[in-house]
Every structure is written in C-alpha cells, then in structure tokens.
Amino acid sequence: MAALLSHLRSGRFAAPIDALHLPAHGRGAGLPVAMRRLLRRRPGSWDLPELPQIGGPLESEGAVAASQRAAAAAVGVSACWYGVNGATGLLQAALLALASPGQAVLMPRNAHRSLIQACALGGLTPLLFDLPFLSDRGHVGALEAAWLERVLAELDRQGQTPAAAVLVHPTYHGYASDPLPLVALLHQRGLPVLVDEAHGAHLQPGVDPALPISSLAAGADLVVHSLHKSAAGLGQTAVLWCQGTQVDPELVQRCLGWLQTTSPSALLLASCDTALHQWQRPRGRRALRRCLDQGRALADRLSDAGVPLLRTPDPLRLIWHTAAAGINGLEADAWLLQRRLIAELPEPGCLTFCLGFARHRGLAGRMLRRWQQLRLALGSSTPLPPFTPPPLPLLGAPEHHLVEAWRGPQRAVPLDDACGAIAAQLICPYPPGIPLVIPGERLDRSRLRWLQEQRQLWPDQITAMVKIVA
C-alpha cells in the first residue's frame, strides 16, 4: 500500500493531470499552509497520543479543547467536537443523542447510510420521506418547504410522533434550498433538527451572497460538516456543531464517547483545526471566494462551448450531464480515468467532478478536449431515456423491525425471486452511499421491478443476489 501511494505520487504515473475527486484538498495542493508545513516535518513526529498538552475532542483541557472552543465561538454556537471517523461517526453520535431506543426519527430518503446504521445501533425507527425526483438525470432534488409541509401533514395522518428530524443540506451534487423555513417548520413541532451538511462546510456566511446559507445560520440544533469533502481537511476529518437549548451537549458528548476511538489521531485533529481556522481569516475567505469564482467560470466556459452541464447552487460541483449525449456516466468515468481525468461520482446519467480547493490552471481547455473526444468515442445523437423515480410512498417506515431484519437469520436469493420478501441488507451504491433499500423493507413487485432496472444501470454495484429475511 505504501509503495503504491509513493508510486502514484512520483513514479512513472506521476499525479494525474486532473484529480477532481475528494478529499477536496486536491491531493495536497489546497491544504492550509500550516498543515503543509506540519507534513514536511520528520515523518511520524506528528503522530502523537492524547498527551496532556494536546488532549482530545472529549477532553476539557489541552490544545484540541481550546481549538474547539475557539471554533465554536467564531461560528457563534455553544459547542463543537472534531471527529476522526468522518461525518459518519459524528452523524451517528448526533442521532443517538436525539432519540432513545424505541423512538422514531424523521429523515429524507437521501439520508446517508451512516444514519440508517445509527438507527440500528440505537434501536430507532427511520421514518423515511420521499423527495422530488429529477428524471432527466436520476437525482433527487432539494427539499422545499411546501414539500416538507406535505410530509408533516402525512405524519399527522399516520399518527406518527418522531423524536427528532434529519435534513440533508446540500446534497452530494450540491442541490440545496433555503434551510431556514425547513428548520422553522420542524422546530414549530418541537422536533430537534440534525442536519447532515457533510457537503456544505464551505457555506460560510459573508463569503459569497450567491451561496445557500448554512443550516447553522438557519438555527439547526446539530450540524455535521465533513471537512475532507467540503473544506481542506485530510480524509476522515469532520466537525459536529451544537447550538440552542433543544439538545443537551452533555448527552451529545456521552454519545460521542460511545463511538469515538480512544486514540484519536493528533494529525487529523490538527487538520480539523487548520481547515476551520483558515476560513476565520480574511485571507482564507478570499481564497474560498476565488475557488467559487473559478468553479463558476469553468462551468460558464464549458457550457458556452456546448458541454451539457447540470448547474446546482454549489459551484464546487461540476456535473456533466452525460445522459444528454447518450452516454452512461459510469462508462464515461472508466474512459476518462484512462486519460487521467478523475471524477468523484459516476452515475448512470451523469459524472460529477469535485473542484475542491486547489487551483486548476488550464482545466477548461483540457476538459473541453476530453468531452469532445468522449462524445466521439461513446456518444450518440439520442439522449438516454428518462430515469424512473423509485416507487415510494411519501412517508413510510420499514415494515419489519430494522435491527431484527438486519442481524437475524437471512438467506440470499436471486433478485428475481425476492418478490414479497423482506430485505435483510442495505442496497446502496457507493458513492453516493444513499440506500436504495434498507433492511426491513418489503420488496413488493413495483419496488423489485425498479431495483432490477437499477441493476441494469449499476451492474457492478447492485448484485444479482439479495439477502432477505429467512
């Protein structure tokens, strides 16, 4: 592994020309100066335990505690905790702090798998609500207030009383609406709100008026940022913010303790600190604005030259709408990888590039050339047919108990023979890590037909066999 990484860095296959994937620091180019300086020190000198001077995310003394206090004060919230197991670990701890075993949690269908896993860990029932579907590309769009009102009315109709709610803002692709009315609607019902803002750490106030606001500014109680996805942190870095009076920070801290390693990496904690700190300074904010401008200028240039793009409110996500040129995004990705243009998220209808925080000199010209070559190699004059929305109710919980279905006796059957059975696994292409099916859900005829269609589209991600409750 070490040999492979050294080889990728320097050998014959020196860094690919355009590595537009996560982590967002762009293979080091966008790391904060302090972090680059640290990494040039004697290898391993920074790999330290929780010495009294350093401490850890759950300690009240030491450099980490001081950094967390300073970060919380700068953002204007009551507390924050750094994480070294990605947004995953922090989302899970946050959810456990919001609901007790036996309670239900309202969450959107595009909830990351970590949240479904947290429901299993905490004995919670996910009450999943559907989202608008954009059939020309096969994505779920942003949640709007009117849609959430319909969901809440359905919640009442079904007599459901969740203990908390989860939102995703923005999505992996950068779709976002104004979180203010969404959080307000949920708060009106007394529901504490956890926002998975893994892809939105850069929604910094006062940097760019065209960016959506962060759910922190919208008053969400708990917000998780993945610092390697939407800030210049090393892989696995994340932060959990806590504000308001609805959530007890003591309880959050206890839940973090259940899931956090007892040996958090000092290097990763320093990376959390530097990634957040740089945006508290005018210089760092200017650099962020430059990255956003660079993203918009790139999209304008490609769009003017005829590349079919899907625009979202996040300029750091560049989405080629390959379906419009009759090209499957997964095939486009494989073709481009061989030509040293590496995307983040291939899907049947699109290819998403994460521009991150590095400078990309000359990228527009190179991308345009690649697009033209790709079109000649794989394109067609007929666009791909529209994608089918999943046949889901507006609101629903798994028919069987999530944990019992997931960890009880199960057997594998061909997808074709699973009609009427209860799923005993997550079916979840990664990325983006959003389950198509969760354990405990019934695979009725329409769901199964839709899954079979998905399998044609994602042949390597959705296997021909599915585990069902025995």
Ligand X SMILES: Cc1ncc(COP(=O)(O)O)c(C=O)c1O
Residues lying near ligand X in the complex (CB under 6 A)? 86-88, 112, 114, 168, 172, 196, 198-199, 226, 229, 238, 431-433
Instruction: State the minimum distance, in angstroms, from the CB of residue 168 to ligand X.
Output: 5
Instruction: State the minimum distance, in angstroms, from the CB of residue 84 to ligand X.
Output: 10
Instruction: State the minimum distance, in angstroms, from the CB of residue 216 to ligand X.
Output: 16
Nearer to ligand X, 415 or 462 (CB): 462
Instruction: State the minimum distance, in angstroms, from the CB of residue 400 to ligand X.
Output: 25
Nearer to ligand X, 62 or 235 (CB): 235
Instruction: State the minimum distance, in angstroms, from the CB of residue 113 to ligand X.
Output: 8
First to last CA, the chain: 39
Identify any residues that bridge with 108 across adjacent strands, giving them in sequence order: 129
Nearer to ligand X, 272 or 367 (CB): 272
Report how far residue 83's alpha carbon sits from residue 129's, in angstroms, rounded to the nearest whole number: 28
Report how far residue 74's alpha carbon sits from residue 277's, in angstroms, rounded to the nearest whole number: 9
Instruction: State the minimum distance, in angstroms, from the CB of residue 126 to ligand X.
Output: 15
Nearer to ligand X, 173 or 442 (CB): 173
Nearer to ligand X, 131 or 367 (CB): 131
- Residue type present at position 138: G
Give buried/exposed letters for 241-259 (b at 16+ CB in 10 A, else e).
bbbeebbeeeebbebbeeb
Identify any residues that bridge with 319 across adjacent strands, giving them in sequence order: 310, 352
Locus of tokens 């240039």: 301
Residues 49 and 263 sit within 8 Å (Cβ to Cβ): yes
Two tokens, residue 12: 């014959």
C-alpha closest to that of 203 among 211, 191, 195, 194: 211
Instruction: State the minimum distance, in angstroms, from the CB of residue 115 to ligand X.
Output: 8
Give me the torsion for CA of 7, 8, 11, 17, rounded to 10°.
Answer: 180
Count CB neighbours of 394 within 10 A: 16
Instruction: State the minimum distance, in angstroms, from the CB of residue 455 to ligand X.
Output: 22
Instruction: State the minimum distance, in angstroms, from the CB of residue 352 to ligand X.
Output: 11
Nearer to ligand X, 230 or 410 (CB): 230
Nearer to ligand X, 221 or 364 (CB): 221
Instruction: State the minimum distance, in angstroms, from the CB of residue 199 to ligand X.
Output: 6
Nearer to ligand X, 198 or 330 (CB): 198
Locus of tokens 């400078």: 359
Query: Residue of minimal CB distance from ligand X?
Result: 86
DSSP state letter for 214 = P
Instruction: State the minimum distance, in angstroms, from the CB of residue 330 to ligand X.
Output: 17
Residues 312 and 173 sit within 8 Å (Cβ to Cβ): yes
Contacts 24+ apart (CB under 8 A), 440-443: 440/398, 440/399, 440/400, 440/401, 440/402, 440/404, 440/405, 440/406, 441/398, 441/399, 441/400, 442/399, 442/400, 443/418, 443/419, 443/468
Two tokens, residue 468: 């069902």
Nearer to ligand X, 21 or 442 (CB): 21
DSSP state letter for 444 = -
Nearer to ligand X, 275 or 422 (CB): 275
* Residues ≥6 apart with Cβ < 8 Å to 392: 109, 128, 130
Nearer to ligand X, 234 or 402 (CB): 234
